[in-house]
Amino acid sequence: MKKLLPLLVLVAACGKTTAKPTLSSRADPACAALDTAKIVEVFETITQDTTWTKDKVYRLEDHIFIEGATLTIEPGTRVEGQTVGSSLVVTSSARLIASGTKDEPIVFTSCRAEGEREPGDWGGVVLLGKAPINVTGGTEKIEGFPAAEGRTSYGGTDATHDCGTLRYVRVEFAGFELAKDNELNGITVGGCGNKTTIDFVQSHMGQDDAIEFFGGTVNAKHLVLTQADDDGLDWDYGWTGMVQFMIVQQNGVVGDNGIEADNNGKALDALPRSHPIIYNATLSGSAKAPKTAGKTQTGALLRRGTAGEIYNTIFLSFTDFPVDIRDAATVAQMNAGALTIESSCFFNNGFQGAWDDVVVKPEDDDDGGFNEGAFFTDVTRHNLVSDDPLLTAPTNLVQPGFKPQSSSSVLLPTNARTPDASSGFFDASAKYIGAIGTVDWTESWTAYPVN
Amino acid sequence: MHKHLALASLWLTSTIAYAQPTTEPASQPASVAASQPATGVIKGRVTDKKTKEGLIEATVKVTAGTPDGSTPSALTDVDGNFELTLPAGRYELRVYYELYKAQKFGDVVVTPGKPRTLNVALTTDQDAVEEVVVVAKADRRSQKAVIVERQKAAVVSDAISAQEIQRTPDNSASEAMKRVVSATVTEGKYVVVRGLGGRYSTTLLNNADLPSPEPDEQAVPLDLFPTTLLANMTVLKTYSPELPGAFSGGTLQIETNAYPEKRELRLRLQTEYNTEATFRRFNGTPGATLDGLGFDNGRRALPQSVPRDRTVIAGNVSSAEQNEIAKSFRNVWTPRARLGLLALGITATYGDTQTLGKNRLGYTVALRYAHNDQIQRADVASIRIDDEALTYREQVKNETATEQAALGALVNLGLELGADHELNLFQMLSHGAEASVQTAEGYNENDGLGISDTRLRFITRTLSFTQIRGMHRFSRTEDGKARSLGWFATYAYTARDEPDTRDTSYNVLDDGTRRLRIQPGSLERLFSTLGEHATNENVELTLPFQPLVLKVGARFNANVRAFSARRFRFVFIGDDPSVLQGTAEEISAADNVGGVVRMEERTLPGDAYDAALFVGGVYANIDVTRLDPFRINAGVRVELARQTLTPNATLRTPGALPAGTDRLDADVMPALNLSYAFKNGMQLRAAYGYTVSRPRFRELAPFIYFDYVRRRALSGNPALNVTHIHNVDVRWEWFPMEGVILAASGFYKYFSQPIERVIANAAQGDLTFANADGAHLAGAELEARTGLGFLSIYLQPFYVAANFSLMFSRVQLGSSTAAQTSSARPLQGQSPYVANASIGYSYEKTGTEVALLYNVYGPRIVEVGVDRLPDVYEQPFHRLDFAFSQRFAEQLVVKVTAQNIAYQRISLRQGPLIVQSYQPGFNLFASLQWQL
C-alpha cells in the first residue's frame, strides 16, 4: 500500500493536468494562446528536486523561488514568464541545472506572443549563492523584490558555492522594474561561487542590465549580451570572476554602457574588491553622434573603487565616451596597476579624440583630473586607437555580425595578449582582440528577435 | 481610576476642584506658622444636606480669632473635604457656598497635634435657586484644573491645558504637544513620547480610539486638531487596565471642548506670515481651482475610460482601447508658479446651556476654515566613503511647496438628567487637502548627470467621528459615593485620497539639455484611496466599597480598512530619442500616443488590500483610596485580538497575490499603580504594567510606496509578530501650593520583539519592518512649574515652567540587522534629551498674557546607516517662540506670536557631513478673537 500511494498521487496529478480545460485566474491574459494541455502553470515555491521537460511550456505566474532543491531543465525546454511580476529565483540553498545544447538551447522568454514581446515583460533569471560579497555583514538582499521578501538573501563565505549551470541558454525580454532604480536584470547573479557554470548564455532585450554580477567568484564564458535597456555587463560588491568571449551590443534608444563596473557605491574601498579578469570581449555601441542617444553611452564606465583587468577587448562606436573613469578611489586602483585595459582596440567612439571628461566639460570632473585618453593611449598598454576592427555588422540589431573580416588588425596575434591559462579557465589559444576569432561561436543557438 | 470616569462624563460632572489653602498673600500659612510655632488642624467635609453629596469649592473662612486679624480660608476639594492649619487658639468660622445658606461656627478650638473635625451640611437657599441656574462648574480647560486632575490621577500623567495652549503660539495639537514633558513632535504632526515615536503612541479622542488616515505612517497626525477645538491633552505614561492594551510610550488623550455654562459666541480670525513661503514664488498645479477650498475640481479623477474591474494591460484591453485611455488622462505634468499667500484661519464657536427644570441641555457648535502655503527648500545629499574619507555622493536641491486647506465642524450636545444621568453626543468632521509640488534638482551619481524631478501631488484626508456617551449614577453609599455606569459608543470613518500623483524625471546634460528618463517614477501616475471604518464601544461599572472602588469594564474595537492603488506609466516606444528632450506634456501628447509613447498600467498584485483588527477586552481594577496615605490601584486586562490583512483581488491583475496575515492573539495584562501621599502635598508613585504593541496595517501590508525625497521603496511585512512590553515607572511629585509643581520621574521599558523599520538592502536602501530581538529604554524626567508670587507680590502675575528629560535606549537588531552598519543602536527618533522652558506673564485684571518659550531636543536618529556609513542624526533644534495676547473690553482678544525667533535651521548629519538641511522659516502670526 505504501508503495501504491505515490503512484495514486501521480495518477491523480496526471488526471488533473490532462483534464484541465482552461488556465487559472492567475494566468496573464496577455500571454500567447497555446494548447493548454502543453502549458504547466508554475505558481508555487519549488522545494523538491524537479525536472522540466521540453514537451511542455512552463509558465511562471509569480516570482518562483527554488529553495533547498535542484531544478533541472532539459535541453530544448521553453520557460515563459508572465507579465506584471514573474521570475525564476534560485535561492542560495538551491541549484538550477539548465544545460541546453547548441541545437536545442533552453529559452526563457516572455509569455506574450512573438511580435508583442517587450523588454521588461517578466523578471528574468536570478541566481543567488553564498560566495563572498563586500556588503557589511556579508549578506545582502537582491534588488527588484519587495523589501520584506526574505528569500532573496545572498552572500557568505563559500567562494566555491555552486549555483548550478546555465549552458546554451537564452533569456529574452526580461528585467522587471519594481520601482525607481530597483529592477531585476535579464540575468541577475548574486554571490555565486566559482563552481557555478555560465557558458553560452545570451541575454537579449533585458530591461536594466543584460547581466549583473553582485559580488561572488563566478566565471562566465561565451556571453552574448544584446540590446539591454541599461548596461551590457554590470558588476558590483567585490565580484572577482573571470570572463572570456563576451559580446555586448547596445541600441541607441535605451542602452547605456557596455560595461558598468563598481566596487561598492557606499564604501568605495570595501573588501573584497571587485577585480574581474576579462579576455576577448567585443563591446559595440550604437554609432550615434555624441549626446543623441537616449542615454549617455560609454564603452566602459569604471567607478566606485573597482579594480579589474580587461584584455583583448574591442570598444566600438559608443556614442559618448570610449571609457570613463570615475572617483578618486578608482583612479587609485589605476595608479596601483590593479585596474587596466590593455591590448585592446578603441574605435569610432564619441570624444575619442579628446578623451578626457575634463576636456569635454571641465566642471564635471569626477575623477580628480585623471586623463583617460593619456592613460589608455600610453604605448605601454598596447592599445589600438585608430584601427577599424572591421566587424561584419556590429550595429545591425536584427542580424548582427561580430566576426572580424579576415583583414582586420584585431586578428593579428601580435596585437593581442595571450590569455593566462594558469587558472585553467582561459583559452590561451585566443590570441586575438575581440570575442570572435575565425569561428563564430554565436551561430545556431542565439537569436535577435525585435519583439 | 478617577480620571477615566471623569473623562467619560467630562464637563457634566462637578468633580473637579482644587485644594486652595490660602489665596491672599497676607495670610500665608508659612508666615503664621513662623510667629506661632504650635499649630493645629481643622478638617472636615462640607455636604449638601439633602443629597449628602460633597460640595466642591465651598469656602471655609476664618472670620475672627487670628492674632494678626487676618482671615485665612480654604476651599473644599472634589469630595467636599477641607483642611485648615491654624495657630492654636479659638476661632470663628463661616462656611458658605453659592446658592446655599451660609453657616457660622463660633468658638472652634484648635489644639496642636489634635485635629478638630468639623462636618457641615448646607441647605440650599430657595430664593436663590429660583433666579439662578445651579452650580458653576470648574472649568476643566484651566491649567489649575489640569494640575489638580493630574495630582488626583492614579497613574502618571502629564498634560497641557487649553489655557496653557492659548498662551503658546501653537495652532494645532501637534504644536502644543511639544510642550509636554518628554514629548517631541516629528514632521510637525506625529508625537514622540519618551523617545518612542509613531507606532508607540496611541491617540484617544474623548477616550475612544482614533484611526490613522495615513497609509504610510503609523500615527495619528495631530495637526488634524486645531487648538481652538481642544480642551486638554493628557499623556498617560503609566498603564492602567481601563486603557486599551496597546500602550507603550504613552497614550495621548485628547479632549475636545465642552459647552459653556452660558451663551458664548466666539469668532476668531487669524493670519500668518512665513519668511519662506509668503509672497514668494510658489509652485502650484495648473488647473486645480478648488485646492484652496480643500477639494479637487474633478481634474484629478481617474478617467471614466479606465476599467474599474481590470487593469489596463494587453489582454485585458485592446491596444486601441489602451491608447484611448491614455489620451483621456489630463496631460498636465509641469507646475505653474504663483505667489505664496498669507495664511488665513477663521473659526467660529457658539455654545449655550439651557435649563429645563432639573435637567440641563448644553451645546457647542464650531466651524473652521484654514488655508496656508508652505515651502520647504531642503539641501539633500547622500554620502559615501571614497578613498577612505566620507565625501558627498549626490547633492540635490529639493523644494516642496505645499498648499493646505482645512475645513472642520464640531457639534457637542450634552444632556444632564437630574444629578445622576448624563448623556452626550459628539460629532466631528474634519477635512483637509494638501496640494504639493515637489521638485528636485541636482546630480545623479549613477547616471553621472544632472537630474530634475517633479512630483505633483494632492491628498485629501477626511475624518468623521461620532460618539455617544453616558454616565449613570445609582444608589449612593454613606460617604456620598455613587455606583455608576459609564459607557460610550463611537463610529469613526477616515479616508485618504491621493488622486493622480504625477512624477516626471529628467536627466540634465552638461549643455543644459533635458532628457526624460525612461524608467519607473517618470511619466508615471499613481491613484490611491484608503478608507477605514472604526467602531469602539466601552462599558464601565464603578462600584465603591469601603475602602476601595472596584471597576469592571469591557471594550470592543473594530477597524476595517480597504486600500487600493493604481499606477499608470507612459513608456517610450519610439525610435527617435530626441523626442525625449521635449516637455512631459509634449512627449505624452495625444498625437504621440501609440507611436511614440504608450501608456501601461503598472499596478502590482499587492496594490490593494483589505485589513481588519478586532480587539475585545475585559478588565477589572481596584482603586484603594481610603488607605491614606497609600493609594493602590491594581488590576488586570485580558484582550483578544484578531488581525487580518488580505491582498484584494477585485482588480484583475495576473499573477499570484502576495501573502496576507491572519493572526489571533490573547494577552493578559496586569498593571499596578501605587502612590504614597505625604502630608505636605508630596506624592510618590510607582507603577508596573505589561502591555502590547500590535503591528499596524501599514507595517503588514505588502504595498510598495516610493519615497520621493529619499529615493527608495517602503513595503510592509505580513509576517510580523506582536511586541510585548514591560513598563516600570517611579515618580515623585510635589504640589506645594496652587499652580506649583515639582516632579521627578524615572522609567524603564523592555520590549520583546519590537517592530523596527529596517533597511533591507544596502544598494537601494529599501525599507521594511521586522521584529528585532529586543530593546531597552530607560529615562529620567524633571519638571518644575511655579508662579513667582512667592518672591514678591509684584511678581504675582509671572510664572516659570521647565521640564527636562534624559533618555537612553538600545535596540538589539539580531538577525534583522541586514546591511545596517550598527547591530545595536538607539531607537529611531529617540533623543537623548528633551527640554522645554517658558517664562510668562499672565495678569487677569488687564487681560494680558505674555510668554517666551524654548524647546530643544537632542540629536536623534532619523535614518539608519547602511553598509559602513554612519547613522543619520537630526541635530538639536533650538526653538524660541514668543506669544503675546491682550484682551480689550472683555470681548476682544488680540494675539500676536512669533515662532522660530532664533531663525534656526533643521539639519541632519551623517558623520561630519550635513545630508539634509532646511530653514523652516520665521513665522509671524496674528489673531483677533471676538467673544460675545
pLDDT tens for B755-769 read 888 877 877 778 888
Residue of B825, B868, B869, B872 to mutate when probing chain A, most A C-beta within 10 A = B868
Nearest in space to B873 (alpha carbons), one of B906, B824, B903: B906
Nearest in space to B662 (alpha carbons), one of B719, B609, B723: B719
Cβ contact B749:B248 at 8 Å? yes
pLDDT single digits (tens) B641-681: 999 999 887 776 777 777 888 999 999 999 999 988 887 77
Given this model, what pLDDT does residue B902 score?
A: 94
Name the minimum distance, in Å, from the CA of A87 to any CA of chain B: 11
Cβ contact B315:B358 at 8 Å? no
CA distance B585 to A27: 35
Q: Is B309 on the interface with A (CB under 8 A)?
A: no
Residues A154-164: what's their mean pLDDT? Answer: 97
Higher pLDDT, A358 or A436: A436
Residues B852-877: what's their mean pLDDT? Answer: 88
Cβ contact B202:B209 at 8 Å? yes
CA distance A248 to B374: 50
Give the least confident one: A2-11, A192-201, B272-281.
A2-11
Residues A105-121: what's their mean pLDDT? Answer: 94
Given this model, what pLDDT does residue B139 score?
A: 40
CA distance B189 to B107: 60
Given this model, what pLDDT does residue B188 score?
A: 59
The pLDDT confidence band at residue B690, using thresholds 50, 70 and 90, is very high
The pLDDT confidence band at residue A293, using thresholds 50, 70 and 90, is confident
- pLDDT winner (highest mean) among B52-61, B133-142, B200-209, B854-863: B854-863
pLDDT for A217 beyond 50: yes
- Cα dihedral across residues B109, B110, B114, B118: positive or negative: positive
Element (H, E) at B368: strand B359-386
Residues B113-142: what's their mean pLDDT? Answer: 52
CA distance B120 to A144: 79
pLDDT for B172 beyond 70: no
- Cα dihedral across residues A30, A31, A36, A39: positive or negative: negative
Give the least confident one: B468-472, B557-561, B710-714.
B710-714
Grid look-up 535614518 returns: B863
Residues linked to residue B103 through DSSP beta bridges, in sequence order:
B95
Give the least confident one: A168-172, B356-360, B537-541, B636-640.
B356-360
Residues of B in contact with A59 (CB under 8 A): none
- pLDDT winner (highest mean) among A106-110, A364-368, B490-494, B606-610: A106-110
pLDDT for A256 beyond 60: yes
CA distance A428 to A442: 19
Q: In chain A, how long is the greatest CA-to-CA distance?
A: 81
CA distance B410 to B415: 17
Q: What is the mean pLDDT of chain A?
A: 90
Given this model, what pLDDT does residue B713 score?
A: 81
- Cα dihedral across residues B678, B679, B682, B685: positive or negative: positive
The pLDDT confidence band at residue A268, using thresholds 50, 70 and 90, is very high
The pLDDT confidence band at residue B191, using thresholds 50, 70 and 90, is confident
What SS3 string covers B261-281? Answer: CCCEEEEEEEEEEECCCCCCE
Residues of B in contact with A31 (CB under 8 A): 315
Q: Is B670 on the interface with A (CB under 8 A)?
A: no
> Which residues 101-160 of B are in CB contact (within 8 Å) with A?
none
Give the least confident one: A146-155, B489-498, B720-729.
A146-155
Cβ contact, residue pair A148, B769, below 8 Å: yes
Q: What is the pTM of this model?
A: 0.83
Given this model, what pLDDT does residue B180 score?
A: 65
Residue of A24, A84, A250 to mutate when probing chain B, most B C-beta within 10 A = A84
Other Cβ atoms less than 10 A from the Cβ of A167: the count is 22
The pairing of beta strand B39-48 with beta strand B120-122: parallel
Nearest in space to A39 (alpha carbons), one of A97, A86, A80: A80
Residues B713-735: what's their mean pLDDT? Answer: 90
- Angular region, B565: left φ>0, alpha ψ -120 to 50, beta rest: beta
Q: Which amino acid is at A345?
A: C
Given this model, what pLDDT does residue A98 score?
A: 98
Cβ contact, residue pair A269, B385, below 8 Å: yes
Higher pLDDT, A446 or B701: A446
Mapped onto helix, strand or coil, the DSSP state of residue B297 is: coil
Element (H, E) at A360: helix A357-360
Residue B239: half-sphere exposure toward Cβ, Cα within 13 Å: 30
Looking at chain A, which residue has its C-alpha nearest residue B388?
Answer: A269
> Which residues 486-545 of B are in CB contact (within 8 Å) with A?
505, 507, 509-511, 513, 515, 518-522
pLDDT for B20 beyond 60: no
CA distance B162 to B140: 9
Give the least confident one: A136-150, A358-372, B524-538, B828-842.
A358-372
C-alpha triplet A210, A215, A221: angle, nearest 5° = 50
CA distance A394 to A412: 19
Higher pLDDT, B172 or A344: A344
Looking at chain A, which residue has its C-alpha nearest residue B708?
Answer: A180
CA distance A199 to B763: 28
**Rg for chain B (alpha carbons), in Å?**
30
ipTM of the complex: 0.86
Nearest in space to B505 (alpha carbons), one of B615, B565, B580: B580
Cell of B274: 512665513
Q: Is B679 on the interface with A (CB under 8 A)?
A: no
CA distances (Å), origin B476, targets A18, B341, B481, B545, B599 = 79, 60, 5, 11, 73
Give the least confident one: A189-193, A302-306, B66-70.
B66-70
Residues B439-453: what's their mean pLDDT? Answer: 89
Residues of B in contact with A116 (CB under 8 A): 314
CA distance A236 to A275: 10
Given this model, what pLDDT does residue B233 score?
A: 74
Q: Which of A86, A140, A296 sits opposite B819 (nearest CB)?
A: A140
Cβ contact A222:A215 at 8 Å? no
Cβ contact, residue pair A136, B868, below 8 Å: yes
Residues B11-27: what's their mean pLDDT? Answer: 30
The pairing of beta strand B872-874 with beta strand B879-888: unpaired
Given this model, what pLDDT does residue B291 score?
A: 93
Cβ contact, residue pair B713, A148, below 8 Å: no
Q: What is the mean pLDDT of chain B?
A: 82
pLDDT single digits (tens) A20-34: 457 888 888 889 988
Q: What are phi and psi of B321, to 5 degrees?
A: -60, -40
What SS3 string covers B300-315? Answer: CCCCCCCCCCECCCEC
Higher pLDDT, B366 or A357: B366
CA distance A20 to A27: 13
Residues linked to residue B370 through DSSP beta bridges, in sequence order:
B345, B406
pLDDT for B408 beyond 60: yes
Cell of B914: 550635513
Higher pLDDT, A394 or B476: A394
Q: What percent of chain B has pLDDT above 70?
A: 83
Nearest in space to B535 (alpha carbons), one of B614, B426, B429, B646: B614
Cis (ω within 30 of 0) for the bond into B859? no
Q: Which of A29, A148, A304 sits opposite B715 (nearest CB)?
A: A148
> Which residues 408-447 of B are in CB contact (within 8 Å) with A?
445-447
Q: Per this entry, what is the length of chain A? A: 451
Cβ contact, residue pair A253, B575, below 8 Å: yes
Given this model, what pLDDT does residue B28 score?
A: 35
Given this model, what pLDDT does residue B22 score?
A: 31
CA distance B150 to B156: 8
CA distance A223 to B890: 87
Instruction: Return the number of CB contacts < 8 Å for A and B.
Output: 198
Residues A219-244: what's their mean pLDDT? Answer: 96
The pLDDT confidence band at residue B24, using thresholds 50, 70 and 90, is very low
Looking at chain B, which residue has its C-alpha nearest residue A175?
Answer: B519
Cβ contact, residue pair B386, A181, below 8 Å: no
Looking at chain B, which residue has its C-alpha nearest residue A262?
Answer: B446
pLDDT for A73 beyond 60: yes
